[in-house]
Amino acid sequence: MAMKIWLDDRLVDKEDAKVSVFDHGLLYGDGVFEGIRVYDGRIFEFEAHLKRLYESAKVMRLVIPMDSGALADAVHQTVAANDIADGYIRLLVTRGTGDLGLNPFLCKRACVIIIAASIQLYPRELYEQGLKVVSSSVIRNHPLSLPPQVKSLNYLNNIFAKIEAVDSGVSEVVMYNHEGYVAEASGDNVFIVRDGVVMVPPAQAGSLEGITRGVVIRLARQDNLQVVERNLTRFDLYVCDEFFLTGTAAEVIAVVEIDGRRVGEGKPGPITTQLRKKFFEYARA
């Protein structure tokens, strides 16, 4: 069966899913997106993802040419057309076709793209063994440059950091903000555990308010774990008992080493393991 892509207002074959070279999403990274999971045929936290998409678009003064109900229906159609039971959705809205100038308001209509496929961010054994990470020299975008709550197509900041991970032979990096506090990984949110307390950087530190991040915080509190949003330093990461990342593609995965320093016992810790188990129970409930 040929893969189907939603493009603008209909499903098309993968080979026919093409956008103009004058699309400002291509020319300038001008657009927004969401990465969304499908578990057992159900779209995970769909309303939260749609809400964030429309809020990001509003901040950018990008008019999505479909209301949320019509867009949700298009996503469901794309998932069904590709027979996705467990997989990943990439929902994009670009500024659309314009000219070679920066003016976004010369683009007459935004372009909607929906891809439904499979994804595995890390090899399966790393979910059992944990990741090694390094600290990035790339500073996270200043919040007055680009609000961290906006999930835009412009990911060059994150890509620079990811290059450092690849060059260092590890799976991920930790990015810090202009004040030296932990912001996030190149594509995931950061959590640590110390003395039984779960700690996570606030969004104001430069991290995206991840959907999975929010779910894990809620599940932790339901399990009577203390969760604190506070600024974290590199020192905190070096001395914590447990360290894990969360994200739509990554789900929940332990970090066992940072900058050559072992985290805890050098294996996924009990609270990380507990929250990973709770997350999958919730996702498939």
Q: Is there a contact between 151 and 141 (Cβ–Cβ < 8 Å)?
A: no
Phi-psi region of 169 (alpha: psi -120 to 50; beta: other; left: phi over 0): left
Same domain, 210 and 135: yes
Q: Is the pLDDT of residue 52 over 80?
A: yes
Q: Are residues 168 and 278 in the same domain?
A: yes
Parent domain of 204: 124-283
CATH classification of the domain holding 197: 3.20.10.10
Residue 206: band (very low, low, confident or very high) from pLDDT cuts 50, 70, 90: confident
Within this chain, do residues 182 and 211 fall inside the same structural domain, yes or no?
yes
* Among 263, 283, 270, 171, CA closest to 216: 283
Identify whether 151 is a catalytic site residue: yes
The pLDDT tens digits of the residues spanning 114-145 come to 999 988 778 889 999 999 999 999 999 998 89
Q: How many domains does the structure of the chain reveal? A: 2
Check whether residue 83 and residue 131 sit in a common domain: no
Cβ atoms of residues 119 and 66 within 8 Å? no
Same domain, 131 and 27: no
Question: Which long-range CB contacts under 8 A does 260-267 form with residues at least 24 apart?
Answer: 263/130, 263/237, 264/240, 266/130, 267/129, 267/130
Q: How far apart are CA 90 and CA 75, in angstroms?
A: 9
197, 226 contact by CB (below 8 A) = yes
Question: Is the domain of 69 the same as that of 102?
Answer: yes
- Based on the domain organization, do 35 and 174 belong to the same domain? no
CA distance 254 to 131: 6
Query: What's this model's pTM, rounded to 2 decimal places?
Result: 0.94
Contact (Cβ atoms closer than 8 angstroms) between residue 23 and residue 96: yes
Q: Which of 85, 117, 149 is the last residue of a domain?
A: 117
Tell me: the pLDDT tens digits for 67-110? Answer: 999 999 999 999 999 999 999 999 999 999 999 999 999 999 99
For residues 128 and 95, state if they share a domain: no
Q: Are residues 165 and 190 in the same domain?
A: yes
Domain boundary among 93, 117, 141: 117
Same domain, 26 and 89: yes
Q: Are residues 225 and 240 in contact, defined by beta-carbon separation less than 8 angstroms?
A: no
Rounded to a whole number of angstroms, the distance between the first and last alpha carbons of the chain is 30
247-273 confidence digits (pLDDT tens): 999 999 999 999 999 999 999 999 999
Q: Which of 21-25, 57-61, 97-101, 140-144 has the lowest mean pLDDT?
A: 140-144
Given the residues 151, 162, 267, 278, select the one marked as catalytic. 151
DSSP 8-state code for residue 140: P
Please identify, among 117, 133, 159, the residue that sits at the C-terminal boundary of a domain.
117
pLDDT band at 285 (very low <50, low <70, confident <90, very high): confident
